[in-house]
Amino acid sequence: MLASSLQAQDVEGFFSDISSRIASRDFLRTTGNAGANIGYDYFDDQGSGARPRVPQFNWNMNAGLNFDFLGIKAPFNAAISNRNTLYNLPSYSFLGISPTYRWITLHGGDRSMTFSPYSLSGVNFRGGGIELRPKKFYLGLMSGRLRRARIQDAGSIQDIETVFKRYGQGVKAGYDNQAGTSFTASLFSSSDRLQIDPSQLDTNITARPEKNMVLTLGGGHQFSKFLRFETEWARSVLTRDDTSPLLDNPTGAIRLFGLFKPRVSTTAANAFRAKIGLSPKFGKIGLQYERIDPEYRTHGSLFFQNDLENFTASFSAPLFDNKLTLSTNVGLQRNDLDNSSAANNNRFIGSLNLNYTVSDRINTSLSLSNFTATNRYKAIAVDNLLVDSIVLAQTQQSIDVTTSILLDPKGKNALVFSGGYQRAALIRDEVIDPNQTSKFSMFLMSFAHQPEESPSSFSASVLVHRNANPDLNITTIGPTAGYNRKIFGENGTFNLTAGYQLAFTQFGPAFPGIEDSSDGVIQVSLGGSYKLGKKQTFNVSTSFINAAGSEARPGYSDLRLNAGYGFSFGGGGR
């Protein structure tokens, strides 16, 4: 759906601003910021064999620039870091720019665009793109290299050449009359390209070049203040081996209306979503249905879940003169839509949220949820058992309560109580399996003191949480205190945090011979920052952790030192 808010251009004011800038010779305006951080970590395993959590030396740099040439705006950003223990190369780096002029936006470098959750969504590409938003219309185009094509390449976090490189192109068009009626259509395609000589391919690797094309159509209409309807349909055709023979006499559906050349390894699948929104005077009601076929895949998403059907309903309303806010959500989900999987899953989801304003100084919120999943393993998954199926059900309930209290009218002192409980269990033959249950409980009490017009503030808290299952019970309790203060007038800040956690561990039958233990962890952090003028900042920080060791958990000491520098600039030019 096209949800961008579009407005008509004030052409007269736009050219008036340009004329004024030309007259004052204010052609180019630049603003930006840059920063660098360096850190050192000293780790002592105390002879326990514990491993360091970060590299001994680490650094990162980032920069952002914004150019404005007579109204043509071009943001530019870059980042690089060495947080990597495998190679002496930067662990990540990106560089991109997105200049904007009125309703035109260009993308270059490492960028991202969104067409639809069923096609291009959440994937960065290295290439170029353009977005046009003239009044009620939208047009977007992109082309570039997508993420690495094979799962074997996931460990190649450097810019190291891979066997296949994946490239994608796409176009999206839309219309929104700003009165509740909208329509969008998009087409996205991608393919893998071999980067080495075919004779050098590893015969042990079964990965093959893929090709994908996704067509989406969507729209929505506001029938009245009471009723709104939205829908979206997508069809994806995927060739899992682009070297396989072409398919003889393919149907129009798998050819995607003549846009795609299917092969014997090509599959086609649909995704569909429809939503009805009701807005009665007392609240809001939403009904949604979604279905994604088992074979549905898209190269334009980092992660995509298919083979599911969802029915969900939601309701929210303010009650008792807006003192109480109620919202609830319930739904059903199932998979194995074509009855071909070895196991099918049915889930029920129910949640309830309440927020009650007792007074101007007391607020309470309550959250309840229940998740139930039933898994049916078919006989084809358990060939040695003479049964039709095995049914396993899993249920999870949770409750969370939070109360905040302002101890004085001006809010200088605040007290917060928060508690939560969660229970998960596995059900076999309608009976809860005692060996497959877990319980998590938590209680937090915190206090904050912020005197009015004072340069300092103080906070303290006590946290207790327990995680229990048949094999292992861990209970942790500990206080934490923090102090913050402005120094050197308004130019500097100072902060200190200290905490202690005591963990009690009880071992069950799964850990024979290991005695129960209690381990303490001390954490202290100290930091500060100082403004070197109006546009430069320098900061330093240090943290220390000392964890006591036991038979079950190795002890260690970890000291970290960090320093950073940043500056910003901006202004006009000629």
Secondary structure letter of residue 246 according to DSSP = B
pLDDT in tens, 481-521: 999 999 888 889 999 999 999 888 888 777 777 777 888 88
Q: Does 558 reside within a domain? A: no
Share of the chain above pLDDT 90, in %: 39
Beta strands 28-44 and 556-572, pairing class: antiparallel
Q: Which of 16-25, 83-92, 93-102, 402-411 has the lowest mean pLDDT?
A: 83-92
Q: How confident is the model at residue 61 (pLDDT cuts 50, 70, 90)?
A: confident
Q: Does 451 reside within a domain? A: no
Whether the per-residue pLDDT at 5 is higher than 60: the answer is no
Q: Which of 151-165, 257-271, 538-552 has the lowest mean pLDDT?
A: 151-165
pLDDT in tens, 240-256: 888 889 988 888 788 88
When pLDDT is averaged across residues 282-304 and rounded to a whole number, the result is 89
Whether the per-residue pLDDT at 214 is higher than 90: the answer is yes
Please tell me the predicted confidence (pLDDT) of residue 203: 57
Please tell me the predicted confidence (pLDDT) of residue 159: 43
Q: According to the per-residue pLDDT averaged within each range, which of 63-67, 372-376, 423-427, 490-494 is highest?
A: 490-494
Please tell me the predicted confidence (pLDDT) of residue 3: 38
Q: Which amino acid is at 118?
A: Y
Please tell me the predicted confidence (pLDDT) of residue 230: 96
Q: Does 221 reside within a domain? A: yes
pLDDT in tens, 174-207: 999 988 899 999 999 999 887 666 555 555 555 6
Q: How confident is the model at residue 369 (pLDDT cuts 50, 70, 90)?
A: confident
Rounded Cα gap, residues 64 and 87, in angstroms: 27
Rounded Cα gap, residues 451 and 464, in angstroms: 28
pLDDT in tens, 312-329: 999 999 988 888 999 999
When pLDDT is averaged across residues 443-447 and rounded to a whole number, the result is 94
Q: Which of 282, 307, 286, 310 is nearest to 295 (CA)?
A: 307
Pick the residue with more confidence: 25 or 42?
A: 42
**Cα–Cα distance list, 551 to 11, 50, 504, 513, 538 (Å):** 74, 12, 13, 10, 43
Q: Which of 26-35, 72-81, 365-374, 477-486 has the lowest mean pLDDT?
A: 72-81
Q: According to the per-residue pLDDT averaged within each range, which of 40-54, 357-371, 507-521 is highest?
A: 357-371
Q: According to the per-residue pLDDT averaged within each range, which of 34-43, 45-54, 199-208 is highest?
A: 34-43
Please tell me the predicted confidence (pLDDT) of residue 147: 66
- Residue 255, SS3 per DSSP: helix
Please tell me the predicted confidence (pLDDT) of residue 383: 44
Q: Does 572 reside within a domain? A: no
Number of independent structural domains in the chain = 1
Cα angle, residue 298 at apex, residues 296 and 303 outer, rounded to 5° = 95
Rounded Cα gap, residues 270 and 293, in angstroms: 6
Please tell me the predicted confidence (pLDDT) of residue 8: 39
Q: What tokens appear for 197 in the block? A: 């000589």
Q: How confident is the model at residue 280 (pLDDT cuts 50, 70, 90)?
A: very high
Q: How confident is the model at residue 410 (pLDDT cuts 50, 70, 90)?
A: confident
Q: How confident is the model at residue 232 (pLDDT cuts 50, 70, 90)?
A: very high
- Residue 197, SS3 per DSSP: coil
Whether the per-residue pLDDT at 267 is higher than 80: the answer is yes
**Could you give phi then psi for residue 49, rounded to 5 degrees?**
90, 5
Rounded Cα gap, residues 511 and 509, in angstroms: 5
Rounded Cα gap, residues 182 and 193, in angstroms: 37
When pLDDT is averaged across residues 77-93 and rounded to a whole number, the result is 55
Residue whose structure tokens are 């739904």: 331
Cβ burial, residue 155 (10 Å; 0-12/13-18/19+): exposed
Please tell me the predicted confidence (pLDDT) of residue 120: 92
Q: Which of 49-53, 386-390, 569-573 has the lowest mean pLDDT?
A: 386-390
Whether the per-residue pLDDT at 345 is higher than 50: the answer is yes
Share of the chain above pLDDT 70, in %: 80
pLDDT in tens, 478-487: 999 999 999 8
Whether the per-residue pLDDT at 405 is higher than 90: the answer is yes
Q: According to the per-residue pLDDT averaged within each range, which of 81-95, 407-421, 498-512 is highest?
A: 407-421
pTM: 0.68
| Average pLDDT of the chain, as a whole number | 81
Q: Which of 279, 294, 299 is nearest to 238 (CA)?
A: 299
Q: According to the per-residue pLDDT averaged within each range, which of 92-96, 309-313, 378-382, 550-554 is highest?
A: 309-313
Please tell me the predicted confidence (pLDDT) of residue 495: 94
Please tell me the predicted confidence (pLDDT) of residue 1: 31
Pick the residue with more confidence: 471 or 226?
A: 226
Q: How confident is the model at residue 14 (pLDDT cuts 50, 70, 90)?
A: very low
Rounded Cα gap, residues 167 and 189, in angstroms: 9
Rounded Cα gap, residues 2 and 182, in angstroms: 7
Whether the per-residue pLDDT at 170 is higher than 90: the answer is yes
* In contact, 573 and 26? CB cutoff 8 Å: yes
Q: Does 196 reside within a domain? A: yes
Q: Does 20 reside within a domain? A: no
pLDDT in tens, 121-163: 878 888 999 999 999 999 999 999 986 544 444 444 444 445 6
Whether the per-residue pLDDT at 387 is higher than 50: the answer is no
* Residue 108 belongs to domain spanning: 102-303
- Residue 198, SS3 per DSSP: helix
Q: What tokens appear for 47 in the block? A: 């002879």
Please tell me the predicted confidence (pLDDT) of residue 385: 42
Rounded Cα gap, residues 96 and 114, in angstroms: 16
Rounded Cα gap, residues 339 and 401, in angstroms: 42
Q: What tokens appear for 376 in the block? A: 């049916």
